[in-house]
Chains A and B, each alone.
Chain A
Amino acid sequence: MADVLDIENQDEFEFDEDGDQGVAKLKEKAKKRKGRGFGGGHEAREEIKGYEAVDADAADDEPGPQRSVEGWILFVTGVNEEAQEEDIHDKFAEFGEIKNIHLNLDRRTGFLKGYALVEYETFKEAQAALEKLNESEILGQKISVDWCFVKGPKKNKRERRRR
């Protein structure tokens, strides 16, 4: 049985044909359309190939959380708009050393947008924080905690097709 996987070329030069087709179909499905962007004139768009990705652990092909370059990142939502970075830090520090927090503002109101990214160095720390803090509260408001990044679909699904 021929193995169509080219192991040399990881994600570097992958043509996401399935993805592109999926997106094209999705756009056709929409019933209501609005905007000047329709009807050609897309000279602005360049065809970009070869996006870099963080290499997924080759040995582990199961879907699940994806490690980032220097750690594991959690995505927190439902953050009270008046919370401060200190509130996030105090809650999450219990599970390990926090490497990074991004707590973005709503650019119009100046309050918090409502989400945060929290990074730990190890999977164990991140997972513990996720399990304990998901559905807990900050300033009386329930937060959700999930992994931020996940592994893409399995590589074997993406065969090179000759058209």
Chain B
Amino acid sequence: MPKSEFYLRYYVGHKGKFGHEFLEFEFRPDGKLRYANNSNYKNDTMIRKEAYVHQSVLNELKRVIEDSEILQEDDSLWPTPDRVGRQELEIVMGDEHISFSTSKIGSLVDVNQSKDADGLRAFYYLVQDLKCLVFSLIGLHFKIKPI
């Protein structure tokens, strides 16, 4: 019996004046966390970091995902990615695999005006919680202080 499968990837980005600007992070089943942040703004270069997190971090991540109930949602009614940008969320948990894509979300106003406000809201908050966790992990591990 395979142990519970788990994988998570999140991407948000757009292509524009400053190149392909994006943020992407990925948690692999073996605990490897990969983080990439790219922009050519003022000729900036890509930040790429990786680290292995303890099983307890993966467990907490799974708990956060389960609490969000995102696996019960569906992106079919969500706004499609556009010129302004795109977001991608891919999760494998147990025998379920979701791969959602949507446009960037500016604020709760965009969420509340969408066709599937409840689903998009779950996505919106989950993404914020995931970013919080990842920024703390990467920020502390590599001592990158926020500006």
Name A residues whose Cβ lies closer than 8 Å to a Cβ of B.
11, 16, 19, 22-23, 26-27, 29-38, 44-46, 48, 50-54, 65-66, 68-70, 73, 75, 77, 100, 102, 104-108, 113-115, 117, 119, 144, 146-153
Contact in complex: B54, A53 (CB < 8 Å): no
Point out the residues of chain B lying under 8 angstroms from A107, CB to CB: 125, 128-129, 132
Contact in complex: B90, A150 (CB < 8 Å): no
How many B residues are at the interface, by size bracket? 35 or more
In the complex the two chains form, what is the Cα distance from A149 to B53 in whole Å? 4
The CB with the most chain A CB atoms within 10 A, among B46, B60, B76, is that of: B60
Q: Whose C-beta in chain A lies nearest to the C-beta of B143?
A: A69
Point out the residues of chain A lying under 8 angstroms from B136, CB to CB: 102, 104, 117
Q: Which of B46-63 contact A (CB under 8 A)?
A: 46, 48-57, 59-60, 63
In the complex the two chains form, what is the Cα distance from A136 to B98 in whole Å? 37
Decide if B88 is an interface residue (CB 8 Å cutoff): yes
Contact in complex: B74, A34 (CB < 8 Å): yes
5 shortest interchain CB distances as A-B pairs: A37-B99, A30-B97, A51-B50, A146-B56, A107-B128
Please report whether the interface of chain B is mostly helix, strand, loop or mixed according to DSSP.
mixed
- Contacts A75-B60, A102-B140 given: A44-B86 contact, CB under 8 Å? yes
Point out the residues of chain B lying under 8 angstroms from A45, CB to CB: 11, 24
Decide if B84 is an interface residue (CB 8 Å cutoff): no
In the complex the two chains form, what is the Cα distance from A35 to B73 in whole Å? 9
Name B residues whose Cβ lies closer than 8 Å to a Cβ of A.
2, 5, 7, 11, 13, 20, 22, 24, 28-32, 34-36, 38, 46, 48-57, 59-60, 63-64, 74-76, 80-81, 86, 88, 90, 92, 94-101, 125, 128-129, 132-133, 136-137, 139-143
Point out the residues of chain A lying under 8 angstroms from B24, CB to CB: 45, 48
In the complex the two chains form, what is the Cα distance from A68 to B136 in whole Å? 12
In the complex the two chains form, what is the Cα distance from A30 to B143 in whole Å? 36
Partner of B141, one of A35, A50, A77, A149: A149
Q: Whose C-beta in chain B lies nearest to the C-beta of A30?
A: B97
Contact in complex: B29, A26 (CB < 8 Å): yes
In the complex the two chains form, what is the Cα distance from A10 to B55 in whole Å? 24
Contact in complex: B141, A104 (CB < 8 Å): no
Q: Whose C-beta in chain B lies nearest to the C-beta of A152?
A: B52
Contact in complex: A75, B56 (CB < 8 Å): yes
In the complex the two chains form, what is the Cα distance from A69 to B51 in whole Å? 11
Contact in complex: A30, B54 (CB < 8 Å): no
Cβ of A54 to closest chain B Cβ, rounded Å: 7
- Contacts A27-B7, A68-B142, A104-B133 given: A22-B30 contact, CB under 8 Å? yes
Partner of B53, one of A37, A53, A69, A150: A150
Point out the residues of chain B lying under 8 angstroms from A146, CB to CB: 54-56
Partner of A52, one of B50, B52, B86, B98: B50
